[in-house]
Each structure stands twice: as C-alpha cells, then as structure tokens.
C-alpha cells in the first residue's frame, strides 16, 4: 500500500436507497421499519471497487480485513432517496507490519447536505 | 421505547441472540454487495487460516445495530454507531449482542451506549465486537 495517497479524493458515485433493497436488508436483521444504520455501507460499496482497484493506492485486497466501522448520522437515510457518495482516504498508517487505512465517505442528499458520514477501517496484513 | 428521563446510567439493553448460518451470510452478501469470497468460499477461508467461511464484520455489526434499534424504537433513532471487529464468527455459532447506557444527556435527549457482540467458543467468551459505541436519540 502506498501511504502517500492519504487525503486522496475519489470521483463521486450516485446511490439510490432502493426500497426493495432496504426491505431485503431489514429482513436479514429482523428490523421492522426504517433504513438500518449499517445499510449506509451498501452506499460505501458504490465507491469501494474504485478504491480497491486504485493502482496509485496499490491495496492488495486478498490481504485486507475489515478492522472497524463508524457511522455518524446527521439524519436517518430515507427509502427512495438518491445520495451522492463522496469518498476520500482519511489516513494510512503502519502498525506492526500491517497497514491501516481509513476511508471516509460522505453521503450527500439532494439539498447538498451530508446525511451520514461513514468511516471504514481496513487492515492490509503484512506479507509473511 | 424509552424516554430520556427514564433511562439510567448502567441500564442494560435486552440482549439479542442469533445463530449465524451460511444462508444468513449469503443473504447479507447478496443484499450488501460485499461478495468477498472469504465469506462464501470455504477453500478461500481455509487458505486465509480459518477453519471455514467467516461472517462479514458488517453482518455482526448489523446484528448489533438491530439490538440497539430494537431498544431505541427504530434505526432512525441511532445517530452514531461504531465498532471494531476483533474476532471472527464462524457458521453455526450463536452471537449475542448487548449494550449498556454509559451516559444520558437530558438536554440533548440522547443516551450514549457501550455495546458489544460476544460468542461462546471452546468454553471461553470471545468478543467479535468489544467496546462498540452508540448514540441514541430518545423521547423527551
């Protein structure tokens, strides 16, 4: 992994909070109504392939584990709305032979307001 | 659903248990778009040093979110949620999500929770999620 790309901003993607997909997601977790908090990660995945395949970042996805996840909701996500997904590399550090990468993703609504900020921590295990 | 005036520090959320199955994890992969073979292909999981496929960290966190949401009255009440994934979850294991109120801010109408997911394995308690945190908006 290339640590010099901290701060890199990726091209925006569009994500529709499809009601059928939300309902399927709810049923996995027996949630009764609304958009489950962790559904925001489905939106993160609109950009994730771009990051995983970024030659400049040079992430070896076969050695990547999901280390942690955070969400900050300024308001709940709404079924049927369209969000702009804006991701950047938050930080990259090296700990004990592993590289730890945070990806910060803002989900921006039609009025231009951030509905949710998600932070994913990925751990690229060192080659042994 | 709880009122912010009725919730006390150290109040425990009702724990939420489920046995994790291959079907659950496949359903999560399909709906989330996270099709990493570590969660679907035993050979890939074994090559990575596991006895078989492991649940997505996000599957475990989704279960934790459901536990918090159930207590709070819905996902729209969760304003913050964070977790670190510390241990794998294997198929057939029972995971138990739980939480406890750490602080209550009556002015803002929010409760801060510590939350976790545990698993019993080989006679010991493992922590797929330990020291997770949530902020929940409650009724006045």
**CA separation for the pair A96, A91 (Å, rounded):** 16
For the stretch B81-99, pLDDT in tens is: 999 999 999 999 999 999 9
pLDDT band at B3 (very low <50, low <70, confident <90, very high): confident
- Write down the domain spans for chain B: 16-137
Helix (H) or strand (E) holding A22: helix A19-28
Closest CA to A107 of A85, A89, A74, A79: A85
Contact (CB, 8 A) for A40 and A118: yes
pLDDT of residue A121: 97
pLDDT at A128 over 70: no
pLDDT of residue B48: 86
Q: Over chain B, what is the mean pLDDT?
A: 95
pLDDT at B1 over 80: no
CB contact under 8 A, A36 and B33: no
CB contact under 8 A, B31 and A42: yes
User: Would you list which residues of chain A are within 8 Å, Cβ to Cβ, of chain B?
Assistant: 21, 24-25, 27-38, 41-42, 45, 65-73, 76, 121
Of A38, A69, A73, the CB nearest to B79: A73
Q: What is the ipTM of this complex?
A: 0.95
pTM across the whole model? 0.96
Which token pair is A87? 């991701």
Of B32, B76, B85, the CB nearest to A34: B76
What is the arithmetic mean of pLDDT over B113-128?
Answer: 97
What is the arithmetic mean of pLDDT over A67-75?
Answer: 97
What is the arithmetic mean of pLDDT over B23-50?
Answer: 94
Burial class (CB within 10 angstroms; exposed 0-12, middle 13-18, buried 19+) of B35: exposed
What is the arithmetic mean of pLDDT over A7-31?
Answer: 98
pLDDT of residue B130: 94
**CA separation for the pair B138, B112 (Å, rounded):** 11
**Cβ atoms within 10 Å, residue A65:** 17
Preferred mutation among B31, B41, B127, B130 to probe A, highest tally of A CBs within 10 A: B31
pLDDT at A57 over 90: yes
Q: What percent of chain B has pLDDT over 90?
A: 87
What is the span of the domain harbouring residue A91? 3-124
Q: What percent of chain A has pLDDT over 70?
A: 99
Q: How many CB pairs under 8 A join A and B?
A: 89
CATH at A56: 3.10.129.10
Closest B-chain CA to A73: B79
Lowest mean pLDDT among A34-38, A63-67, A85-89, B108-112: A63-67
Total domain count for chain A? 1
- Report the CATH superfamily, name and number, of domain B16-137: Hotdog Thioesterase (3.10.129.10)
Closest A-chain CA to B86: A67
pLDDT of residue B4: 84
Cα distances (angstroms) measured from residue A59 to each of A51, A102, A112, B48: 8, 12, 31, 17
């Amino acid at each position: 992994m290339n640590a010099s790309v901290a701060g890199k901003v990726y091209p925006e993607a569009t994500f529709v909070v499809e009601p059928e997909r939300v309902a399927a997601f709810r049923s996995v977790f027996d949630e009764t109504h609304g958009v489950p908090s962790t559904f925001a990660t489905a939106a993160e995945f609109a950009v994730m392939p771009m990051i995983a395949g970024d030659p400049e970042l040079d992430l070896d996805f076969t050695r990547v584990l999901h280390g942690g996840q955070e969400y900050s909701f300024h308001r709940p996500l709404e079924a049927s709305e369209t969000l702009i997904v804006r991701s950047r590399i938050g930080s990259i550090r090296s700990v004990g032979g592993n590289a730890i990468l945070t990806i910060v993703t803002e989900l921006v609504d039609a009025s231009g307001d951030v509905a949710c900020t998600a932070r994913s921590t990925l751990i690229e295990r060192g080659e042994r | 659903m709880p009122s912010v005036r009725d919730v006390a520090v150290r109040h425990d959320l009702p724990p939420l248990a489920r046995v994790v199955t291959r079907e659950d994890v496949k359903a999560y992969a399909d709906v989330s778009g996270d099709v990493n073979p570590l969660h679907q292909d035993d050979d890939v999981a074994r090559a990575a040093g596991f006895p078989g496929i492991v649940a997505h960290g996000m599957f475990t966190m989704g279960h934790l979110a459901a536990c918090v949401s159930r207590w709070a009255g819905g996902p729209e009440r969760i304003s913050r949620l964070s977790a670190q994934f510390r241990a794998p979850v294997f198929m057939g294991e029972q995971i138990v999500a739980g939480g406890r109120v750490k602080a209550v801010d009556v002015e803002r109408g929010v409760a801060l929770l510590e939350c976790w997911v545990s698993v019993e394995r080989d006679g010991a308690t493992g922590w797929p999620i330990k020291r997770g945190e949530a902020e929940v908006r409650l009724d006045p």
